[in-house]
Copies of this chain bind each other. A is one copy, B any other.
Amino acid sequence: MTLIKQLTDQEEFVGFYLLKELEVKQTNNTPAKDYMDIVLCDASGQLPAKYWDASPTDKETFFPMGLVKIRGLVQTYRERLQIKIMKIRPAAEDDGVTLTDFIRSAPIRPIDLVYTIKQTIASIADLEIRAIVSFCVDKVEEKLMHYPAAKMHHHAYFAGLAYHMVRMLELGDFLCKQRPFLNADFLKAGILLHDIAKPEEMIAQLGIVSDYSVQGKLVGHISMASNWITEAAVRLDYGLDSPKVLGLQHLVLSHHNLGEWGSPVQPQMAEAIALHHIDALDAKLQMVEDALDSTPDTEEWTQQIRGIENKAIYRTKL
């Protein structure tokens, strides 16, 4: 079975894939005919596809996020590869294929990521900080097993959010050793809480975000996390003005650094400065790594990356 990323122009192939997107459209013919405009994917990447001969039965058979077996032909359309589907059927139980094999995932198992997160919480020395972090993480623990970190920007895949948190924790750990004046409890807490409300801000399935929630649009994950810290303090009976509560809220509220990037206050604690830069460094490098990974080795340049000032990245050669 050929991986999406390995398909080449004019190749005819057979294999199982995921219908990531599917829309029934009509041709301009008279009479107009139905066809399916599809995005096919597997763990290696995705390609647009057309199924020109969609029957009325087909329209009731195929749905987004379903697994299918396909015979297809690779064509070039507007300088990009596109698949013409010649035959298609739903995957059956005895085909032995599993949904999660076909989606892009973090390179570490979700269960291990969440374990690391739990261990880190346990390592926070200050009891008040530890309790508040624990309260907030518990709210979304189940979703941490699979939620992406963003809709498209970075870590946009299965368990991408937890993966982002864990890599940031490694960086934070290094920095606390390099610069002992940084408070490790606050920095760990900031990393764990900064995007903790994202699973309630976005609506996602299998690591793919379909929309933002009403709360996500009206309040936004930054203020939601701040509200959760308030809730934690009230329920755990900590003073709302305690330096720890204020410190945690400050870390969350300021981590986008500037007002035009969504932060109502700017970083004013050493750990808040560190948090913003760790977040930026990890997100940008992951975008670059993911873009290089999903670019065929024969290509010198990746696609343009929106988060990298919309620049394409040149494959370093030595």
**A residues adjacent to B (C-beta < 8 A):** 23, 25-33, 35, 52-53, 75, 77-79, 84, 126, 167, 170-171, 174-175, 178-179, 181-183, 185-186, 214-215, 217-220, 222-223, 226-227, 229-231, 234-235, 240-241, 243-244, 246-247, 249-250, 253, 257-271, 273-274, 277-278, 280-281, 284-285, 288-289, 292, 300, 308-309, 311-314, 316-318
Contacts and interface: CB of A to CB of B under 8 A. Distances in A.
A164 B318 CA distance: 27
A75 B30 contact: no
A23 B268 CA distance: 29
Nearest to A178: B170
Given A185-B318, A264-B263, A285 B274 contact: yes
Nearest to A263: B264
A218 B230 contact: no
Contacts of A25: 77-78
B183 A318 contact: yes
Q: Which of A30, A231, A316 has the most CB of B within 10 A?
A: A316
A84 B260 CA distance: 44
A249 B227 CA distance: 10
15 contacts: A27-B30, A28-B52, A29-B29, A30-B52, A30-B53, A218-B247, A226-B227, A227-B240, A230-B234, A231-B234, A243-B318, A247-B316, A270-B285, A270-B288, A280-B280
A312 to B, nearest CB: 7
Contacts of A264: 220, 222-223, 253, 262-264
A229 B52 CA distance: 54
Given A23-B78, A75-B26, A285-B179, A223 B249 contact: yes
Nearest to A125: B318
A287 B3 CA distance: 48
A81 B222 CA distance: 36
A277 B270 contact: no
Contacts of A289: 179, 181, 270
B219 A246 contact: yes
Nearest to A293: B181
Given A234-B231, A268-B311, A28 B27 contact: yes
Contact of A219 (B174, B186, B249): B249
A314 B234 contact: no
Contacts of A226: 219, 223, 226-227
Contacts of A175: 285
Q: Which of A214, A219, A266, A281 has the most CB of B within 10 A?
A: A219
Contacts of A227: 226-227, 229-230, 240, 249
A185 to B, nearest CB: 7
Given A30-B53, A273-B285, 16 more contacts: A28-B35, A167-B178, A181-B289, A182-B285, A186-B316, A219-B253, A219-B265, A223-B264, A230-B230, A247-B317, A263-B264, A268-B314, A269-B313, A270-B292, A271-B316, A277-B281
A183 to B, nearest CB: 5
